[in-house]
Structure 1
C-alpha cells in the first residue's frame, strides 16, 4: 500500500485523477480517497493537522513493512534562481517552533533534486532579515518552506521506518506575497505527476519483492540450482532476487527450475560452465 498525505484538495487532485481514487464515504473526520493499493488523506494546512491526520489514517489502516508513505505539496523557495514548478525530495526537515530536525532516509535512487525544508506555523515572508528559529538564525536562502512536513513526519514515523518516508515538495512561489490559486497548485503538482508516480510504483515493487519469502519446497529447488551450477554468493543473491520477481508475477517457480535442472549436463563440472548456464537460466526467468 502507498499512503499519501496532502494538506489541500488541489494538491491531491492530480493523484485522485491518476489513480482513479474514490472518496471513502464512511470517513467523516478527514477526506480520504482510496483504491486497492493507494490511501490518500487531505489533512488541511498546518503541522498539527498533518500529524493528527496521518496518525488517524495509519491507526485505521496499519502499515506493513513493504508500504510507503509520501507527503506531497507546494512550498515556497527561498532561492529565486529555482524555477517555480521545481520538484524536490526533502532530505532534512526542520520544525521552526522547536528547532528540531528530522532526516528521512534517502535510500532509493531517484530523479529529483534534493533539498532541506523548514516547517513554519505561519506563512514566511522572504526577507533577508527574517528570523526562523527562536530568533537566533537568519533564513537559509537555499531552503524550502512549508507548513506540514514536520508534522507529517512525526505522525508517520510512529508507523513507518525512516526509509519508508518520502517528502516531495513543488516550489509554487518565493514567499513574497504572490497569490497562488488552487488551479495553479493543481497544475504544478500535475505537471510532475508522471515522474512521481512512476518512481513511487517502482520502489514500491522493490519493497514488495524484498518481503517475499520462499516455501521449503522452493528453497529445496533453489539449493539444487546453487549446487548444480556451482553458484557463487553473488550469483545466489541474483538468483533469489530474480525468483522473488518471478514468484510475484507468476507464482511458484519450482516446475520451471526442475525442468531446467533436468539438462543432461547437470551438474556443471566447472564454475565457468556454471556461469554460462546461470546466464541462460536468468534469460528464461526475466
Structure 2
C-alpha cells in the first residue's frame, strides 16, 4: 500500500485526477482519496509540521495491519534556497534537515530513480527573504539564531525548504523504517512571496507525470516485497547478521527488509558481507557499532557505496 501525503489540495489535485482517485467520504478527519483497490490512498494533511506529523501518524495507525508493506510518499511544493543548479522538475529528497532542532535524516533510496536529488530543510515558519543593502538575508533561523545558509547549506546539491518533510519523517519513523519513506518536491518560489494557489496547482500539473511514474514503480516494488520470501541461504545470512550486529528488534526488521530488497534487485549480498568481514567490521563489538555497520550495508544496497571499494 502507498500512502501519499500532500499539504494542500492544489498540490494533490493533478495526481488525484491522473490516477482517478475517489474521495473516501467515510473518513471523518481528513480529505482522503483512494483508487479502486485502496492500494494508493492520498491524504490532505494541511500545511505545517504539526498538521503533517498528525496526519502521517493517523494514516499509519489506520492501516497498521499492513504496516510492514506500507510506503509513504510526501509530495508537494517547496521553496528554492540555494545550490549550484536550480532544478526545473521534481526532486527526490535524499537528506532532510529539521531547522528547529538541527537534526538530520536520510531516507533510504532503495527505489532507483532518474529524478534529481536534493536536500530539503523543514521549518515551522514560511520561508521568506528580506533585502537589506542589496543583500538577501533569510528570515528563517534555527534555535541558535544562525541563518539557514550559515547552518546547513552546502553548494553540491540543490537546497529546498518546506514545512512538512521532517515532521512526516519523524512521526512516521515511530511506525516504519527509512526504506518506507519517499519525499518528492517541486519548486514554486524562492521566498519572495510570489506564490498563489494557481502557481502551486500549475507546477503540480507539470510534475504529475514524474510523480505517477514514481508511484507506479514504487507500487511494483512494494508488491514484489510483499510476496517475496527469503531463501534458506539468505535466512542463514540473516541469522548471522542479527548475531554479529547485536541487532535490536528494530534492526532485525531492517535487516530482513534489506535482504528482501537485495534478493529482488539481484544484488550479491554475500559479496557485501565478505568485504565487511575482510575489513574487520564484522562481527561488531556491540549494538552501537552494529548500527554503524548496518548503515554501511544499507549504503551498499542503495548504490551510494560500491562493495568493491
TM over 0.5: yes
Deviations 1:189-241 (A, max 9, x none): 12121122112212321232133257xxxx9xxxxxxxxxxxxxxxxx9xx96
**Would the aligned equivalents of 1:23 and 1:32 in 2 still touch at CA under 8 Å?**
yes
- Number of aligned residues: 220
**Would the aligned equivalents of 1:7 and 1:148 in 2 still touch at CA under 8 Å?**
yes
Match of 1:75? 78
Match of 2:147? 138
Match of 1:194? 209
Match of 1:18? 18
Extract unaligned runs of 5+ from structure 2.
Answer: 131-135, 233-259, 266-309
* Greater shift in the superposed pair: 48-57 or 148-157: 148-157
User: What is the alpha-carbon root mean square deviation over aligned residues?
Assistant: 2.7
Correspondence 1:105-116 to 2 at 5 A: 105-116=108-119
Mapped to 1, the partners of 2:89 and 2:228 lie a distance apart of: 39
Deviations 1:15-61 (A, max 9, x none): 21011111111112111111221111101000010000111111112
TM-score (norm 1): 0.70
Match of 2:169? 153
Q: 1:4 to 1:241 in 2, by over 3 A?
A: closer
Correspondence 1:1-286 to 2 at 5 A: 1-35=1-35, 36=37, 37-62=39-64, 63-79=66-82, 82-83=85-86, 85-126=88-129, 128-130=136-138, 132-140=141-149, 142-178=158-194, 180-213=195-228
Deviations 1:174-202 (A, max 9, x none): 11221x22122122112121122112212
Mapped to 1, the partners of 2:177 and 2:159 lie a distance apart of: 25
Bigger radius of gyration among the two = 1
**Would the aligned equivalents of 2:107 and 2:181 in 1 still touch at CA under 8 Å?**
yes
TM superposition outliers: structure 1 runs of 4+ over 4 Å: 80-85
Mapped to 2, the partners of 1:38 and 1:55 lie a distance apart of: 17
Extract unaligned runs of 5+ from structure 1.
Answer: 220-236, 243-286
Give the secondary structure class of the aligned counterpart of 1:194.
helix
Q: CA deviation at 1:75?
A: 0.4
Mapped to 1, the partners of 2:228 and 2:83 lie a distance apart of: 49
